[in-house]
Amino acid sequence: MKDMTTSGPMIEFRKDLFADERDDNLNEIGKPTRRQDILGHVTGRSPFFDDHLFDGLLHLRCTRSPHHHARIRRIDTSAADRMPGVVRVLTGKDVPTNLNTLLSLLDFGLDDEPILTDTKVAYMGEPVAAVIAETEAQARAAAAAVVVEWDVLPHVLDVEEAIKPGAPAVLDIYPNNLFVYHGKYDHQKLRFGDADRALAEADHIVEGRYQMSPIEQAPIETCGAIAAPEQNDRFVCYTSTQALFFSLGTAAKVLNIPSSRLHFIGGTVGGGFGGKVDSIHEPLAILGAMLTGRPVKYAWDRAEEMQVGAPRGAERWYVTDGVMNDGRIVARKFTGYFDAGAYTRLSSYAIIKGVGHLPGPYTIPNVSANVYCVYTNRTPATAMRGFGITGVDFAIEAHMDKVAETVGMNPIELRILNAYRDGDMKAHRREAKNCALIECAQVVAEKAGVTLSPELKAATSVTGGGGARGALPAHTATDEDGQVEGFQATSYANTSGASSAPQPSPTTSAPAPQPITSAPAPRPATPPAPPTSTPTPSPTPPAAADKKPARSGAMRFSSLSGFRRR
């Protein structure tokens, strides 16, 4: 086998860097290795979900909303029922647990999304009925014959419009179209030091607004699943999922059966990039197989993949930096809006992850962030490569260039000057380790022909960090802005009065609280409002403020989002 590391022009191993921190006697790292599944790929034998033939396979297709936002007055499936080849037409009442949120399996968030809605649609393309027929063409024709009477509602497609007073309520269980964090706030907070005071003392204030559109993962294989009755009262399900056990748990919950009755087969995914975690297809395909006793395939066509396949959500960020004349950034404030689209899916968690990433790989002594998970009448958003990070990283790095311009510094120098070094304290109160940004920036400068000042050329990630830079701020300004009431920290709850309790979770779920907003959330101020901080001696971050032990939602997802000690 050829050595790809030498034949390719693109990879260069800089083994001179951190040489003493590394054993170079590894067997796999740095050496080309053949994928174990590649023989199947080149012979066309890799078994993707649709590469399983079933006699008598039925095809399921959905009737979808032509409106961004509308109430359903009536769904009439009688004409569709009589169409050629139609075996069964499903609506919401056929789905055992017709309300779910993906992260309920992780005890995080409210069930907010129907599998087949029968009351209201909140985005264009939302499914309202599912037709199962002998051929795909027949399913397609019959899905078009389902008659829905709509009351079209005003819709909102922009995050900042959606949180204005009087905006259409995308989902009425949330206050002002905002997800509730820790049962307490309408946004996720990060507070480290006193950003407002530092801004007041900075030589320059640099402000910026950045946004990113939704991005479709666009795998070449569209999402889908085939389910069929198996022996022992089980159902087999071949699926394109990227998250087999997630999909298994979701199907068990939605179908209200033990997961031991489900036999999931996956792992051969025709490109996912995050877009194949939402477990949309498996529950309906299995339900179809249960109700018809035959194998059922439910897959999106390309148009559906693009229209209703959950993209990386849109983001908008406002960044305000306080900068000294010498280029040191002393304060950074963020107001961020994630566009979740019509339902939560993974957006709430993307924010937890994104906030853990702030203020980027830089040691800034005063950082503050308010980040909002906003519901709009757009296609629900989900994971995509660099989940939760990509949008804000774009904002941060674009902003770094703006700061460099303001203080008249080369942007690479500005980055080296402010970069994390080993031993520094990060804004989420973990020590920075194994830093390497300085070295990367130095190599970039070398390649780009940028001459660095002698000090910055001599800088390293392993020296100069820690000490005062490693200390927690003496004072952190905190506030109670954006408080909401009526929610619990362990916020997994069944809110709709749906008939059956969710099954798969072995833990007992909280009794259904009515999530009533007593205090309307104050409109988030942009650009950031003047300081309303109450100094507190303890620099405890919001994510750790939950005092309940082990079982609390906050603790569960903080371990998930990688906040654990290394």
Partner 1 sequence: MTTLETYPTMEDAARAMGADATFLGGGTVVMRAVNEGVATPRLIRVTDPGLAHISTVGEILRLGASVTMADVLAHRDLAFLHPVARQIGGPQVRNMATVAGNLFAEHPYGDFATALLALGAQVTVTGQGGARSVDEVLRDRDRAGLVSAVEIPRPRDVRSFGFRKVSRVKPKGVSVLCIAAYLPRESGRIRGARVAFGAMGPTPLRSSGAERALEGQMLDTATAEGAAAAATEGLSPATDQIATEWYRREVAGVHLKRLLTEMERG
Partner 2 sequence: MVKKPVNLTLNDSPRAAFADPGQNLLDFLRREIGDLSPKFGCGQGTCGACTVTIDGQTQLSCLVLAETVDGKEVRTASGLANGATLDPLQDAFMDHFAAQCGYCTPGMLVSARTLLDRNPRPTRDEVIEAISGNLCRCTGYEPIITAILSVAEGRARA
The residue within the footprint of partner 1, chosen from 95, 141, 146, 254 (CB under 8 A), is: 141
The residue within the footprint of partner 1, chosen from 38, 39, 137, 152 (CB under 8 A), is: 137
Q: Which does 50 bind (CB under 5 to 8 A by kind): ligand FES, partner 1, partner 2, none?
A: partner 2
DSSP state of 376: -
- Given a contact cutoff of 8 angstroms between Cβ atoms, the answer to whether 296 and 132 are in contact is yes
Q: By CB under 6 A, is residue 271 in contact with ligand FES? A: yes
Angle at CA 410, nearest 5°, toward 334 and 387? 40
Q: Encoding tokens for residue 273?
A: 């990039």
Pick between residue 84 and residue 520 the one whose CB is nearest to partner 1. Answer: 84
| β pairing state of 235-239 and 476-478 | unpaired
Q: Which does 269 bind (CB under 5 to 8 A by kind): ligand FES, partner 2, partner 1, none?
A: partner 2
Q: Give the other-Cβ count within 10 Å of 19's Cβ.
A: 9
Q: Encoding tokens for residue 432?
A: 């920075």
Lookup result for tokens 């993974």: 346
Q: By CB under 8 A, is residue 46 in contact with partner 2? A: yes
Binding mask 83-122 for partner 1 (x = CB under 8 A): -x--------------------------------------
Q: By CB under 8 A, is residue 564 in contact with partner 2? A: no
Size of the site for partner 2 (CB under 8 A): 40
Q: By CB under 8 A, is residue 137 in contact with partner 2? A: yes
- Given a contact cutoff of 8 angstroms between Cβ atoms, the answer to whether 280 and 59 are in contact is no
Q: Encoding tokens for residue 320?
A: 């305000």
* Listed residue (295, 264, 281, 169) closest to 221, CA to CA: 281
Say how far apart CA 531 and CA 477 lie, in whole Å. 9
To partner 1, the closest distance from the beta carbon of 140 in angstroms equals: 4
Site for partner 1 in 292-351 (CB under 8 A): 301, 303
Binding mask 273-302 for partner 1 (x = CB under 8 A): ----------------------------x-
Q: By CB under 8 A, is residue 301 in contact with partner 2? A: yes
Pick between residue 306 and residue 529 the one whose CB is nearest to partner 1. Answer: 306
Q: By CB under 6 A, is residue 42 in contact with ligand FES? A: no
Specify the DSSP element, H or E, that contains 244: helix 244-255
Binding mask 67-96 for partner 2 (x = CB under 8 A): -----------------x------------
Lookup result for tokens 């290394």: 566
- For the chain, percent helix, then strand, then coil, each to nearest 5? 25, 20, 50
266-274, 318-326, 357-365, 554-562 -> range binding partner 2 (CB under 8 A): 266-274
To ligand FES, the closest distance from the beta carbon of 348 in angstroms equals: 30
Start-end of H helices in 308-385: 347-356
Q: Sign (positive/negative) of CA torsion 141, 153, 341, 255?
A: negative
Strands annotated E in 187-328? 188-192, 204-212, 224-229, 235-239, 262-265, 296-299, 315-323
Q: By CB under 8 A, is residue 157 in contact with partner 1? A: no
Q: Sign (positive/negative) of CA torsion 371, 377, 383, 385?
A: negative
Pick between residue 107 and residue 305 the one whose CB is nearest to ligand FES. Answer: 305
Say how far apart CA 108 and CA 100 lie, in whole Å. 11
Site for partner 2 in 163-192 (CB under 8 A): none
Q: Which does 547 bind (CB under 5 to 8 A by kind): partner 2, ligand FES, partner 1, none?
A: none
Site for ligand FES in 215-254 (CB under 6 A): 220
- Given a contact cutoff of 8 angstroms between Cβ atoms, the answer to whether 311 and 382 are in contact is yes
- Given a contact cutoff of 8 angstroms between Cβ atoms, the answer to whether 341 and 313 are in contact is yes
Q: Which does 51 bind (CB under 5 to 8 A by kind): partner 1, ligand FES, partner 2, none?
A: partner 2
Say how far apart CA 518 and CA 146 lie, in whole Å. 40
Site for ligand FES in 99-118 (CB under 6 A): none
Q: Which residues bind ligand FES (CB under 6 A)?
A: 220, 271
Q: Which residues bind partner 1 (CB under 8 A)?
A: 84, 137, 140-141, 144, 301, 303
Q: Which residues bind partner 2 (CB under 8 A)?
A: 1-2, 4, 7-8, 32, 34-35, 37-46, 48, 50-51, 53, 57, 84, 135-137, 218-222, 268-273, 301-302
